[in-house]
């Protein structure tokens, strides 16, 4: 970023330019604008890009014009949001590009920072990824710790019987024995949990 004037007088106006430090994918540009406007609604914002846009090094992302003291108050928080979310979008885009020849999708984890889930999942989408699920009520997920108390076959049958038609049933599978059992009454989604690089292709062929 660049501040044209650094006079701390409350009456002096400046222009603040947010510029990309390196090539990447943008996310959080609206959030950055809101940070400036939350300090002073009279700040003039001009967004040069949108979420999901690919940008080049030194490309201008946003300009803000207003009182110098207001711009300096807002800039670090605005940059933190923009940098963090654009970092997620950029990394996601690399995974999406890597699997582009194949009929697969890159999904977001639900393990997000407190208070930032919506923004972080939106950043994944900006990078070309998809949302796995936003919260525990989005579907029935049978995890490994559930299977410590009941066998996967029993839990799976109960879930498929009791679920809403709007919800999918998903089960975590840790080895080939459990996978074989699960495939006798397959759910909507099978999550191959901690399979090795060598095991994954074998499991995918077995699932078909």
Structure tokens at 191: 């999550």
Scored b (16 or more CB within 10 A) or e, 101-127 reads eeeeebebeeebeeeeeebbbbbbbbb
Q: Where is pLDDT greater, at 15 or 141?
A: 141
Q: Is the pLDDT of residue 63 over 50?
A: yes
pLDDT at 171: 93
The model's pLDDT over 75-124, given as tens digits with 9 standing for 90+, comes to 999 999 999 999 999 999 999 999 998 999 999 988 899 999 999 999 99
Nearest to 138 by CA among 108, 114, 161: 108
pLDDT at 1: 41
Q: What does the CA dihedral 57, 75, 134, 145 come to, rounded to 10 degrees?
A: 90
pLDDT at 10: 58
pLDDT at 3: 43
pLDDT at 128: 97
What residues are labeled active site? 76, 111, 143, 172, 193
Whole-prediction pTM: 0.83
What span, in angstroms and rounded, lies between the C-alpha atoms of 189 and 164? 15
Calculate mean pLDDT across residues 171-181: 93
Calculate mean pLDDT across residues 120-139: 90
């Amino acid at each position: 970023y660049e501040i044209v004037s650094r006079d701390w007088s409350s009456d002096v106006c400046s222009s603040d330019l947010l510029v990309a430090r390196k090539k990447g994918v943008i996310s959080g540009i609206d959030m950055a604008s809101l940070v400036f406007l939350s300090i002073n609604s009279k700040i003039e914002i001009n967004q040069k890009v949108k979420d999901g846009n690919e940008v080049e090094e030194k490309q201008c992302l946003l300009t803000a014009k207003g009182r110098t003291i207001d711009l300096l108050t807002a800039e670090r928080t605005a940059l933190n949001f923009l940098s963090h979310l654009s970092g997620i979008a950029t990394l996601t885009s690399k995974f999406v590009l890597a699997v582009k020849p194949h009929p697969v999708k890159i999904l977001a984890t639900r393990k997000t920072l407190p208070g930032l889930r919506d923004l972080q999942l939106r950043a994944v989408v900006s990078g070309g990824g998809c949302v796995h699920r936003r919260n525990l009520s989005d579907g029935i997920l049978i995890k490994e710790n559930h299977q410590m108390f009941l066998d996967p076959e029993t839990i799976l049958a109960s879930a498929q019987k009791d679920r809403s038609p709007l919800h999918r049933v998903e089960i975590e599978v840790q080895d080939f024995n459990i996978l074989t059992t699960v495939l006798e009454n397959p759910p909507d989604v099978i999550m191959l949990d901690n399979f090795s690089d060598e095991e994954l292709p074998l499991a995918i062929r077995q699932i078909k």
